[in-house]
Structure 1
């Protein structure tokens, strides 16, 4: 994938990000959001104050996909990252998801996270499940019929997890 860069997302990217986000939300196949989600709520989700978002671009401008990186929990769960990813339908199948996944794992390590957890991977999103397994994630739980798929009805969702650093070398914790 020549000429693909991944960089921090900014407000100037949001129109493109919103277009990609809207397509996935409208499809009703992979994300729990409904089309009632406002543009402002979408902006907060992708570019809010505690969110680190990144975009994959072609030629430095055209947004092909994006991911967001946040803490999965607060306080005593803050060492585990959570991420969400979307690829433009016009760029699917070109390896953009893999590039974003690899970048997010590196970024999570750089930010000091010790593990990463996906709380809600729709089981019928087989491309994503396959990719996350290739990148080292394991399914650690199944949420039976937890997702209301637009076309298939109620389907399972997975919780997926990966340690980013050997726990034997994790920092000591306070009481």
Structure 2
């Protein structure tokens, strides 16, 4: 598997799983019903951020975006998100993308990485981030309206770099 910078030419491969994951209503608070052009604006980062794809055998298996968590005086803390095509789950794609977020953030000089909204019922993501040294700082109760579970908490997670 190769992880490389995403290009506009990758978007048609990213959008189907982006849309499926968002519409499932379990992990991301992006608006529902986004067109491809609208979704691209939410996912494809411009500098100083970065968007990458995980590719194997010419197929995009997942994508991650990363960059400063806040502008200005908060820009020394990074953030990131990733999505794995459901057809590629269980192949280590998420862990590889998470590692890329951490290593890029460290190399870019961020002091830490903060995730503002990790859905508490997204057990796979919470487990992965904890295994990579992130801690849950707080949970905002009932901050996410899960399609399957109703209102559940959103974790604020952090890792010092």
TM-score (norm 2): 0.95
| Contiguous gaps of at least 5 residues in structure 2 | none
Match of 1:168 in 2: none
Q: How does 1:9-158 map to 2 (within 5 A)?
A: 9-50=6-47, 51-59=49-57, 61-158=58-155
Equivalent residues of 2:45, 2:66 under 8 A apart: no
Structure with max Cα Rg: 1
Once superposed, what is the RMSD of the aligned Cα atoms?
Answer: 1.0
Equivalent residues of 1:81, 1:113 under 8 A apart: yes
| Contiguous gaps of at least 5 residues in structure 1 | 165-175
Change beyond 3 A, Cα 1:74–1:65: same
Aligned residue pair count? 160
How far, CA to CA, are the matches of 1:92 and 1:132 in structure 2? 16
TM-score (norm 1): 0.88
Change beyond 3 A, Cα 1:162–1:48: closer
Equivalent residues of 2:54, 2:62 under 8 A apart: yes
Secondary structure of 2:29's counterpart equals coil
How far, CA to CA, are the matches of 1:138 and 1:120 in structure 2? 13
Q: Which moved more, 1:49-58 or 1:149-158?
A: 49-58
